[in-house]
Each structure stands twice: as structure tokens, then as C-alpha cells.
Chains A and B, each alone.
Chain A
């Protein structure tokens, strides 16, 4: 492993974050606060509790997941798309660095940034509601696994995308709806039976459920299943990345 090169990519990517610190951190924090005002205070005041937990506290894991997913995908996809777009990727391709190391550098930076923002949002939430974390180790594990696997997804999107429109497409069309329909703001048990079945096909449901379990020990699906779902998703992303590497798809002529 060429750690020197990985470090160079990681540091360079993180520097980009610090250059745009306001955008990078402030906007997700601000939108979370808005969610709290709208969902937590305005609507939540009319909902007693979900699964025995106050509504404001109930939505915290879902909110964190929403941001984590969006940030992981956005950071990683932009991170690799931008050099492709402006042409600086020539340097990465000509460097004595393997594809795996490139992925570790970009995905590591994206996941780190997304996780940091998730933790900031967790802290921000603490200002609004009282948060109790039953299984901190599992909480961190879910956070990291999700950040890494969705950063991998973002990396794939960044390689696939041929325009900035395409880059925005998947996060808008896929990630956000899946999170909203994946029980970020409600428990799946609140849905009519048919919709409960439908949501079982939403992979994000398993993430949110497992993550919420690590806070409050309540879940829509058994936590073991959640864990398997995250790991399965991770494996699929790694498989796709491996294929891209083998074929040089959209990178090398």
C-alpha cells in the first residue's frame, strides 16, 4: 500500500472542505435546524410519541442519516467528478498509485467529512431534544459503515457522470426520496400493511432502522438484518468499483 499517495489525496480533498467550510458545514446544519423547527416543533407538538419516544427525539437518527447519505454521495461524487471534468485526473492516472489507493483516498476523505458533519448535527440536535444513545459503539459502527458505503456509491456516480446534471440526478431522484420513504420521520409500523411491505424493499429503511435502534432500541426490522443490509450494500459497491477498475470504464481510453 502506498500510504504516502493516499495521504496526499486525502489531505488535498480535506483541504477543499476547509476552503469551503461555510458551505460544507453550515448549510447541512442549517437545514437540520429547519427540519427540527418544522417536523419537531410544529408537527411534533401534535404527535405524542412514536414507539414510546418523543417525536423530536425519534426523528434525530433519521435526520442524521439523511444528511450522512446526502453528504457521502455528494462529496465522493464531486471529489472524483471534478478532476475528470477539469482534466486534472491525468495526474492521478499517471501516478504510481493503484486504483484501490485512489478509491481509499477519495472515499476516505468523503466519508470522513460526512461523518464529521453527522456528528455536528448530532450535537446540534442535542440543543433541541434530549438524546440518549443506548449503544454508542453500534451507533458509530452504523455511521461509519453507511458513510463508507454511500461514499463508494458516490464515487461510482462521479465516475459514471458525464455532466453536472447527471451528478445531481441520483442524489435528487434516489437518495432523498428513499430516505424520506425509509422511515426517517416515522415508524414503518405507522403505515398501512401494504405500504409496510413496499418499504421492505427500500434499502435505506434498514439503515435508518438499525441506526435508530442504536439510540433507542426500537427498530422496524431486527438489527441483525440491518447490519447485513449495510454490509451487503457495501459489498455490492466494492464489486462495482472492482469492475470499473478491471475495465477502465469511463476513465481510460
Chain B
């Protein structure tokens, strides 16, 4: 698939403080859902802000749909809808007018049918004549999404879309994101929730301290997570692994007191039964055993901690 956003060696240092982005390069593919995962202050919002024109990059380039965000900002920005992390909304205006305004601001001609469609898809149609300040927090967040969708963007940035949103609404929001993806919209969302990234994304990127540590297909990550490790505690330590067991790829640790066996939970046979039989055949007896699995959370934590 062709990439719709190309980020090349993007760096940003604010007037005060350490670099918020360090040499980030990333290709975002058309039509994908990319989740950016990272702890507080990692640089997720800064990355989005730089792409959308809210923050001036210190160095590096970004193209959106092949248009440079600086020299050809009109073409680049007209492809993008942005839902900011903070709820910022004109308090006294009515929902429908705020949404119309966004469409006009992005240079699109009036289209009441589209505005209605967007408001309905976000369950805001009944609230269209309410003033923004009369809405609940979750509704306000949806108004922000409606504003971003009002001008039919090809790319949608959602900066922590589900913060402060209740469980059922979160489901609805995920459904909406999937529906947008099915319509061909590229979605980039940030989140602190690994579960959310897992549920939603096609690819997952991990950011920490301004560095992009990893970007991978969710499937690859799941495969990595699919690997389990079986730890066999032996009754008596052994000096070395018998030749006959070479096929299992076993590792000795704890000075020969434990054997580590990695296997794939996804495959039909894990080989555990056979391994245990083979072990007792060569006179190695198991006192106890346990198994551990790498979760996305562990992968994430180890990445983030390594970077620290």
C-alpha cells in the first residue's frame, strides 16, 4: 500500500525543556489504523501537532498525500481532520453551527446532508440545537469528532479519543473508527490503553521520550505475544543437555536447575507432552513447572524501560 503520510527525521524542541521529538521517521499507509502508544509526555501530541501545523518542527520534513506540510500547506491540511486531546470548544455556539463552521473553515461548500449524516453517526443529531456548554464531556468530545469529520478528511487524527468516555460509548467510537477505515479514511490515534491499541489498530507504534521505538503490524506483535515460555524446575541439576533433546531448542539456566522451553501457542501441537516423556526417558525428572507469556504490555514496558 502507498503511504499517505511520510515523516522524515522530524525533531522538535520547545523553547523550554528537552527535545520533545527526536529524529522521528515514519510512513503511514493509506487506509490503515495506526495506534501511537506511549506514556505521558512521550511526544504523541507533539508529533500530531507538528503534522497538523500547530507546532513548528525544529527540523525534518513531513508530506501528507505527497504535499509538503510547509510549502504546500493548503493541499496537505485539507486532507486532515484533527480531534485534539483537550476538549476545546466554543461554549456559546450551537452544535450544528460549530460543525458547519468547521466545514466552511476547511474551504468546503455547504452540505447540510453531510452535516446531518455526521451528527447522526455520532448520536448528536438530537442535540444539534443545544449550546456546546450544555453538553456532557463525552458529548463535547463527539462534537470535536463531528467537526473534524465535517470536511470529509482523508486522514483523521484522534488524540486520546476515549479519555473520559464511558465503556459503551467507547465501543461506539471504536465502531465508528472501523467504519471510517472501511470508507478508506486513514486513522491515527493515540492512547495510553494497550487494550485499545490491540483492539483497534492495524499497526502499533510505540513512542517514548520523543523517540519512535517500534512500529509493527499488530499481527506480528500478536505472534510475538503468542510465544510462551515453559520453565521446568528439575529435581536435580544437570550439567549439560542430552544430545537426544537437541530438537526442542531447550536452554539450561539456574546452573542447570531449570530448563526453558519456548513454544507457539497458536500451533496445533505445543510438544509439551512429548517433551516431558522424552525427559523422563533420559532420566531427568521435573519437580515443578510454570509457563509465562509476553503480553503487549510487557513488550511495551520493556521497550519503554530500555529507552529510559
Contact = CB atoms under 8 A, between A and B. Distances in A.
Interface string B57-82: 00000000000000001111110101
Contacts, number: 81
A198 B213 CA distance: 66
A19 B93 CA distance: 9
A11 B88 contact: no
Interface in B68-112: 73-78, 80, 82, 84, 86, 88-93, 97, 101-109
A96 B74 contact: yes
Interface string B222-246: 0000000000000000000000000
Q: Of residues A5, A97, A252, A253, which shows the largest number of chain B Cβ atoms within 10 Å of its Cβ?
A: A253
Contact of B78 (A9, A15, A83, A96): A96
A19 B104 CA distance: 20
Interface stretch (B47-55, B114-122, B192-200, B291-299): B47-55
Contacts of A253: 14-15, 54-56
A94 B82 contact: yes
B147 interface: yes
A137 B14 CA distance: 51
A12 B101 contact: yes
B104 A7 contact: yes
A231 B226 CA distance: 73
Majority-rule SS of B interface residues? loop
B157 to A, nearest CB: 9
A88 B78 CA distance: 18
Chain A facing B: main interface SS: helix
Contacts of B107: 2, 4-5, 95-97
A95 B77 contact: yes
Contacts of A96: 73-78, 106-107
A95 B54 CA distance: 10
A92 B56 contact: no
A248 interface: yes
Nearest to A8: B104
A158 to B, nearest CB: 16
Contact of A19 (B54, B92, B101): B92
B80 A86 contact: no
Contact of A86 (B74, B91, B103, B106): B91
Contacts of B55: 252-253
Contacts of B89: 86, 88
Contact of A93 (B14, B53, B102, B106): B53
Contacts of B106: 5, 95-96
B231 to A, nearest CB: 50
Given A4-B108, A87-B86, 12 more contacts: A19-B93, A86-B88, A86-B90, A90-B54, A92-B105, A93-B53, A94-B80, A95-B105, A96-B73, A252-B54, A253-B14, A253-B55
5 contacts: A4-B104, A5-B104, A8-B104, A86-B88, A248-B56
Interface of A: 2, 4-5, 7-9, 11-12, 15-16, 19, 83, 86-88, 90-98, 248, 252-253
6 nearest interchain CB pairs? A8-B104, A87-B88, A96-B77, A96-B78, A96-B74, A94-B52
